Chain A
Amino acid sequence: MNEARGERAAMDREKSVHYVNPEAFNPASVETLTPEQERYYQSSQWKIMWLKFRRHKVALWSAVILFLFYLNVPFAEVIAPYTANDRSNDHLFAPPQAVHFFHEGEFVGPFVYGQTASIDIQTVKWVFTEDRSKVYPIRFFCTGSPYKFWGLFDASFHVICPAEGGTLFLLGTDRLGRDVYSGLIYGARLSLTVGLIGVVISIVLGMTFGGIAGYFGGIVDSLIQRIIEILRSLPELPLWMALSAALPVTWSPVWIYFGITIILGLLDWPGLARAVRSKLLALREEEYAKAAVLMGAKPSRVIAKHLLPGFTSHIIASATLSVPSMILGETALSYLNLGLRRPAVSWGVMLNEAQDITVIVVYPWLMAPVVPIIIVVLAFNFMGDGLRDAADPYK
């Protein structure tokens, strides 16, 4: 044994002086990674973002909820039992019809009782009483009130419709007998997309101005910085009000809609531009960016290949956080009669009917749009928080 040890020691000595391992050195052999870690380190930036985002449970659920809400956008006509402007003249200001399952102790499935309307002479108010003798089972996957799908094809297929000859006002009706629930679903179309388009405009402006300021620096930078500072110090809502009051009344609802989105995006970009600028300034100093410059890459290549990927995730995250403020902006403008108007339907337009304190007290279901607005705003905030955390994968 002693002999063997001595031999090895001699060999080691020999090795340490002259021996060079001819094989290629694999750094991974020094510290081995578990397959999981390996996958993590080798996956792309977006993959890591997703892995990180998935761990944020509240943000994930918010994203799911938002997805469900956004399903209403393309399929509003199919999901809603009525169209948004269907009038039911016998049911003005009808209260919500409760969904029942048992009729006189017998299981019938989901159904609503009929409503009979009478007028209260004293208060000059419609009074609705539930007519327990009439049972209207709710139909599913059925043909109901006709509509034009996307304004193109005539159709009458609905996921849910009232019984033949019956009504289905899950959230009541408004002043003209329009179904509030259907209104909410149609309203999602405008209310939810207004923020998205506005954010796209804001991103384009923010990237442009922030990029110019961050890349050129000097006088241009300080000039843009000043403008950003001033715009940020102005109260948004009064300016939104003034700008949307400037939209010509003769415009069609579609043009008004685009006008509003542009207005919302126009005042939102300073925050983004600032983020882009500071990110750009920081990334410009990174070693890999310097290396690219030293290797003779053109500015356009440096920006597009090396700098942009570094902060797009941030931009998306902070853009998500500014969507809710735009949704609220549209709601506020429409509520004040400065934004969209009927026949366009958005949640703000629907809330417009709840302007009067008497209306609010007597017909509280007209405030229904408040609920989806709060849910969507909360969900966007949580999702934005999650995205922002996920955008820093190496932290």
Chain B
Amino acid sequence: MIFYILRRLLGMVPTLLVISFLTFFIIELPAGDYISNQIAALKATGESSSIAKLEFLRKEFALDRPFLERYLVWVGLWPGPHGFDGLIQGNWGWSFEYDKPVAEVVGPTMPLTIVLNAATILFVYVVAFPIGIYSATRQYSWGDYGFTFLGYIGLATPNFLLGLILLYFSNRWFGLSIGGLMDPQYIGKPWSMGKMMSVLGHLIVPTIVIGTAGTAAMIRRLRANLLDELHRQYVTTARAKGMREAHLLVKYPLRMALNPFIADIGNLIPSLVSGSVIVSVVLNLPTVGPVLLTALQSQDQFLSGFILLFVALLTLFGMLISDLLLAVLDPRIRLGGRAVS
């Protein structure tokens, strides 16, 4: 098991390098950089006093170097103006817009982002699992039809529109605002039990909004997988031998259907993270989503680059966890095919 985890972790290194290069390439796509644009703006207004300072900043952040060098400095594989000082060394860069280190800007929003995404994945598992089993074992019952119908609606309604609609109805029917992540009275206060509960309460709606589409997809898949298994002969045999139905279900077909169920969540995670970004903007949640949006709009390149990388890392870790779960479940994967031969 330890070898498997190590192998998976090592496999992530080249992936991370490719992803970091890709994000850096994307954030460098717009013409110029934050500072040179400012210099141009200042020159246009005829002001020249602060240009020297900006030129200094350009040197300070190695923005005057060629592309490849800039990338390596950013990652921390090449000595910048202050020696090796990049992502690997723990320096996440500087946010020009906020005039603060990126770590200070993004730092407070990161735990909430992770909590929100983890809660969504948990929600998908917890809701899809029983409903999927129910739909498969009671195929073509009213409940099955109901859930299938709900699932289609959930799949088709884009999550940020769902967020908008919920925003409208919750305001109209209950007169409450579901935006934000905690009651206003707790903002800026130290963590306490009350604050925890408030955050949890505010997490419910975004979790449902982000998770609905994924849950619908998972229900459909678990239902299909389980139905495949339920029609196998070993099920009939076990039933003929007098095994109790519930025991039978848990003992054989469910185990077989569980594998794709866990593996599929890995495919779902990117779309869940995508959803969390835009739903956060719509519902005004203090996650990395709104910060990313403003950073992109103002071309605050180190900030947006770091957030893109963080979001990509989040999906990679989600996939890693789903892979590890799969390995725990399935010895064939854990042992890398050695036991089979």
> Which A residues are closer than 8 A to B by beta carbons?
227, 229-230, 232-239, 241-243, 245-246, 248, 324, 328, 331-332, 335-338, 351, 354, 357, 360-361, 364, 367, 370, 373-374, 377-378, 381
Contacts and interface: CB of A to CB of B under 8 A. Distances in A.
A234 B270 contact: yes
Given A245-B30, A328-B158, A338-B296, A233 B316 contact: yes
Contact of A236 (B23, B31, B274): B274
B168 A235 contact: no
What 3 A-B pairs come out closest when comparing CB atoms?
A237-B274, A246-B29, A245-B296
A235 B156 contact: no
Contacts of A332: 158, 160, 278
B73 interface: no
Nearest to A240: B274
A27 B235 CA distance: 42
B335 interface: no
Contacts of B171: 357, 360-361
Contacts of A232: 267, 270
Given A235-B311, A245-B296, 13 more contacts: A232-B267, A232-B270, A233-B15, A233-B316, A235-B277, A236-B270, A241-B292, A242-B23, A242-B308, A360-B164, A373-B158, A373-B161, A377-B157
A338 B15 CA distance: 28
Contacts of B49: none
B87 interface: no
Contacts, number: 116
Contacts of A354: 164
A242 B160 contact: no
B266 to A, nearest CB: 8
Interface of B: 15, 18-19, 22-23, 26-27, 29-31, 152, 155-158, 160-161, 164-165, 167-168, 171-172, 177, 179, 267, 270-271, 273-275, 277-278, 281, 292-293, 296-297, 299, 304, 307-308, 311-312, 314-316, 319
B296 A242 contact: yes
Nearest to B292: A238
A322 B292 CA distance: 26
A331 B162 CA distance: 13
A245 B307 CA distance: 15
Given A238-B274, A242-B27, A374-B157, A336 B281 contact: yes
B179 A234 contact: no
A364 B29 CA distance: 38
Contact of B164 (A367, A377, A381): A367
